Amino acid sequence: MQTESPSDPSPSDPQSADWWASSGPALDVAPSRNQSAEVPHPLPEVPAEAAALVSEVPAESAETPTAPYSVLTIERVAALSVSAEPPLPSDLPTLVDDPLEGTRQLAANSAPALSSRNSRQGLAAMAARDIGRVREVNQDSVFSMLTTLPREGGEISVGLFVVADGMGGHQGGEVASRLAVRTVVHHVLSQLVLPALDERMDEALQPMMIAAVQSANEAIWDSAQVMGSDMGTTCTAILLVGGSLYIAHVGDSRAYLFEPGGLRQLTADHSTVGRLIQLGQLEPSEAREHPLRNQLYRTVGQQPQVMVDFIYQTVGQSSHLFLCSDGLWGMIDEAMMAQALARSPWPQDACNELIALANLAGGDDNISAVVVTLPLLER
């Protein structure tokens, strides 16, 4: 059954259905460097006082290109030449008055002010995976992308992050997870990023993310029929647009936000254990040790159609977005995850530490992690 957050935006929500607006008009093209132009006004003359200083140099020295002017004389001539500003020609104010034409000297009180608040950490992302200490093949696939797209009033940050944990014999799981990542990324790039660059983005984000995972399901199902393989994968895909998250989810890979109050799980596991937790018959802390924790009732590619969970969430005051496969969350608890995220503002360091901790705990499965640091100002 598809789950929706109470705060899910409707298709008419401006954050999803009509978030895109065209950018401003293009600037005029500057003239070619090879074009010649007449100088409309003569160059300003050297001030008389500066000329008098130069005339004090002996004639025979002045004829030599490397005449030994004194440092004091050079500094005085330079100061007088800069301070003596010639009057503007009568026809120049028509250009200066128009802020879009030419350049002009800014007054002291017009200089742009520097930011008085520095960032403690910025927007950055890293995806990493590891085969673990038991498996012979890595059936996980991960993806991370950050970009900036034009929008009316300024650019907007956009990120796409995917974790897929494949399953199936004869390397079927590896094929399934790679197909899932490839299909989701291709769908989002073709439906969001490329139209945005052409200023024709008009698709709502919620149905776009759901359709991306459903397209992956269709691609994997078709490939499984051709190969005669029962393969499938989990898929947790998150689109970050500004300060909003659009999450499409199937399986038991997880997405978390690291908030001031701790780590918060955003997705629900489509497993027997996950269902028991939803029904209140099992504590979340017991899920990692339960014998049925790997038994999934919903995956991508093992049925002709799949129901996709969608979650809309704002990042708020969160410092990290974190995605992982069960090879990570099944080996270490949330307290250890939170400590690893809090220790470093760099996503790569956090990914490496999380994977190392899972391997130290046994590394029973393939391990995948995607860590996104969110912008924070100094407090």
Side-chain-side CA neighbours of residue 112 (13 Å) = 2
Residue pLDDT, tens place only, 245-256: 999 999 999 999
Q: What letters, b where the CB count within 10 A reaches 16 and e where it falls short, cover 68-93?
A: ebeeeeeeebeebeeeeeeeeeeeee
Average pLDDT over residues 18-43: 41
pLDDT at residue number 27: 35
DSSP state of 289: G
Residue pLDDT, tens place only, 309-344: 999 999 999 999 999 999 999 999 999 999 999 998
- As a whole number of angstroms, the distance between CA 102 and CA 37 comes to 15
My answer on whether 149 and 221 are in the same domain is yes
**pLDDT band at 283, cuts 50/70/90?**
confident
**Strand partners for 262:** 259
More confidently predicted of 62 and 209? 209
Helix ranges (H only) for the chain are: 48-55, 59-62, 71-83, 93-96, 172-188, 194-197, 205-227, 272-278, 326-329, 334-343, 347-360
More confidently predicted of 90 and 350? 350
CATH code, 284 = 3.60.40.10
CB 312 within 8 A of CB 247: yes
My answer on whether 73 and 200 are in the same domain is no
My answer on whether 83 and 149 are in the same domain is no
More confidently predicted of 42 and 362? 362
Which residue's entry shows tokens 């596991």?
Answer: 269
pLDDT at residue number 26: 37
**pLDDT band at 110, cuts 50/70/90?**
low
Segment among 3-7, 174-178, 349-353 with least mean pLDDT: 3-7
pLDDT at residue number 343: 93
Domain boundary residue, one of 88, 110, 143: 88
pLDDT at residue number 114: 59
My answer on whether 81 and 190 are in the same domain is no
Residue 40 pLDDT > 60: no
Q: Name the residue range of residue 57's domain.
A: 49-88
- As a whole number of angstroms, the distance between CA 199 and CA 106 comes to 35
Residue 93 pLDDT > 80: no
Residue 338 lies in a domain: yes
| Cβ within 8 Å of residue 285, ≥6 positions away | 333
Going from the C-alpha of 240 to that of each of 20, 145, 164, 341, the distances in angstroms are 14, 10, 18, 19
CB 24 within 8 A of CB 152: yes
Domain boundary residue, one of 39, 69, 88: 88
My answer on whether 54 and 185 are in the same domain is no
My answer on whether 180 and 67 are in the same domain is no
Residue 154 lies in a domain: yes
Average pLDDT over residues 208-221: 98
Residue 17 lies in a domain: no
Q: What letters, b where the CB count within 10 A reaches 16 and e where it falls short, cover 243-273?
A: ebbbbbbbbbbbbbbbeeeebeebbbbbbbb
My answer on whether 79 and 222 are in the same domain is no
143: helix, coil or strand? strand
pLDDT at residue number 151: 79
Q: How many domains does the chain have?
A: 2
The single-letter code of the amino acid at 345 is P
Residue 240 lies in a domain: yes
Residue 216 lies in a domain: yes
CA Rg, the chain, in Å?
Answer: 31
What percent of the chain shows pLDDT beyond 90? 53
More confidently predicted of 107 and 231? 231
The single-letter code of the amino acid at 141 is S
More confidently predicted of 360 and 66? 360
How far apart, in Å, do the first and last CA atoms of the chain sit?
42
- Sign of the alpha-carbon dihedral angle for 112, 22, 310, 352: negative
Burial (CB < 10 A; 0-12, 13-18, 19+), residue 372, is: buried
My answer on whether 71 and 218 are in the same domain is no
Going from the C-alpha of 12 to that of each of 8, 144, 158, 184, the distances in angstroms are 11, 28, 20, 23
Q: How far is CA 21 from the centre of its chain?
A: 20
- As a whole number of angstroms, the distance between CA 264 and CA 189 comes to 29
pLDDT at residue number 210: 98
Average pLDDT over residues 148-171: 89
pLDDT at residue number 38: 44
- Mean pLDDT of the residues in the chain: 79
My answer on whether 154 and 254 are in the same domain is yes
- As a whole number of angstroms, the distance between CA 141 and CA 367 comes to 10
Residue 92 pLDDT > 50: no
pLDDT at residue number 60: 46
Closest CA to 250 of 264, 230, 270: 270
- Sign of the alpha-carbon dihedral angle for 168, 170, 171, 172: negative
Residue 25 pLDDT > 50: no
Residue 12 pLDDT > 50: no
Residue 9 lies in a domain: no
Residue 2 lies in a domain: no
pLDDT at residue number 48: 58
Residue pLDDT, tens place only, 287-301: 777 888 779 999 999
Residue 26 lies in a domain: no
My answer on whether 350 and 242 are in the same domain is yes
Segment among 223-227, 232-236, 272-276 with least mean pLDDT: 272-276
- As a whole number of angstroms, the distance between CA 73 and CA 76 comes to 5
Average pLDDT over residues 50-66: 48
Going from the C-alpha of 303 to that of each of 218, 251, 306, the distances in angstroms are 9, 13, 7
**Strand partners for 368:** 129
My answer on whether 70 and 135 are in the same domain is no
- As a whole number of angstroms, the distance between CA 379 and CA 376 comes to 9
Domain boundary residue, one of 88, 112, 139: 88
Q: What share of the chain is helix, strand, coil (3-state, %, to 5)?
A: 30, 20, 45
My answer on whether 208 and 73 are in the same domain is no
